[in-house]
Amino acid sequence: MYVERILTPILREAVNAFPAVLLTGPRQSGKTTLLRQVYGDSYAYVTFDDPLERDFALSDPNGFLDQFEGKPLILDEIQYVPALMPYLKMRIDADLLNNAGRLGRWLLTGSQQFELMRNLTESLAGRVAILDLYPLSAREHAPASLSEAIWLGGYPIPALHPARRDLWVRSYVRTYLERDVRQIKTIGDLRAFEQFLGLCASLHGQESRKAGLARDCGISQPTVAAWLGVLEASFVISLLPPYFRNLGKRLIKTPKLYFLDSALVTTLTRQPDGTAALAGPMGGALLEGWVVAEAIKAFAAVGRKPDLYFWRSQDGLEVDLLILAGGRLHLVEIKLTATPTVRHVAPLNRLKTLLGEQAASEGILVCTSTESRSLPGNNRCIPWQEFPGWISNLPGLS
Three-state SS letters, the chain? CCCCCCCHHHHHHHHCCCCEEEEECCCCCCHHHHHHHHHCCCCEEEECCCHHHHHHHHHCHHHHHHCCCCCCEEEECHHHCHHHHHHHHHHHHHHHHCCCCCCCCEEEEECCHHHHHHHHHHHCCCCEEEEECCCCCCCCCCCCCHHHHHHHCCCHHHHHCHHHHHHHHHHHHHHHHHHHHHHHCCCCCHHHHHHHHHHHHHCCCEECCHHHHHHHHCCCHHHHHHHHHHHHHCCCEEEECECCCCHHHHHCCCCEEEECCHHHHHHHCCCCCHHHHHHCCCHHHHHHHHHHHHHHHHHHHCCCCCCEEEEECCCCCEEEEEEEECCEEEEEEECCCCCCCHHHHHHHHHHHHHHHHHECCCEEEEECCCCCEEECCCEEEEEHHHHHHHHHCCCCCC
pLDDT at 116 over 70: no
Binned at pLDDT 50, 70 and 90, residue 314 comes out as: confident
Residue 245: predicted pLDDT? 74
For residue 247, pLDDT over 80 is answered with no
pLDDT at 190 (0 to 100):
79
Long-range own/partner contacts, residues 116-122 (CB < 8 A, 24 or more apart):
116/22, 116/24, 116/78, 116/79, 116/82, 119/82, 119/85, 120/22, 120/85, 122/85
The confidence band for 183, taking pLDDT boundaries of 50, 70 and 90, is low
CA distance 119 to 237: 23
CB count within 10 Å of CB 243 equals 23
Residue 253 pLDDT exceeds 90: no
CA dist., res. 184 & res. 194, Å (int): 15
Q: What is the mean pLDDT of residues 82-104?
A: 83
Most confident of 62-76, 93-107, 114-128, 172-186: 62-76
319 Cβ contact list (under 8 Å, min separation 6)? 310, 311, 312, 331, 332, 333, 347, 348, 351
Is the pLDDT at 252 greater than 70? The verdict is: no
Query: What is the average pLDDT across 279-289?
Result: 98
Q: What is the pLDDT of residues 371-381, one digit of tens each?
A: 999 999 999 99
Q: In angstroms, what CA-CA distances link 278 with 138, 248, 346?
A: 18, 36, 24
CATH number for the segment(s) 146-238+257-282:
1.10.10
* CATH architecture, domain defined by 8-132: 3-Layer(aba) Sandwich (3.40)
* % of the chain exceeding 70 in pLDDT: 94
pLDDT of residue 295: 98
Average pLDDT over residues 76-80: 90
pLDDT score recorded for residue 6: 97
Instruction: Please give the pLDDT value at position 96.
Output: 77
Q: Kindly report the number of other CB atoms within 10 A of residue 61's CB atom.
A: 18
Other CB atoms closer than 10 Å to residue 63's CB: what's the count? 10
The mean of the pLDDT values for the chain is 91
Report residue 185's pLDDT band, with 50, 70 and 90 as the boundaries: low
308-392 CATH, one of 2.40.50, 3.40.1350, 3.30.420, 3.30.519: 3.40.1350
Q: What are the domain boundaries of the chain?
A: 8-132, 146-238+257-282, 308-392
Report the pLDDT value the prediction gives residue 175, as an integer from 0 to 100. Answer: 86
At residue 316, the pLDDT reads 80
| CA 287 to centroid of chain Cα atoms | 16
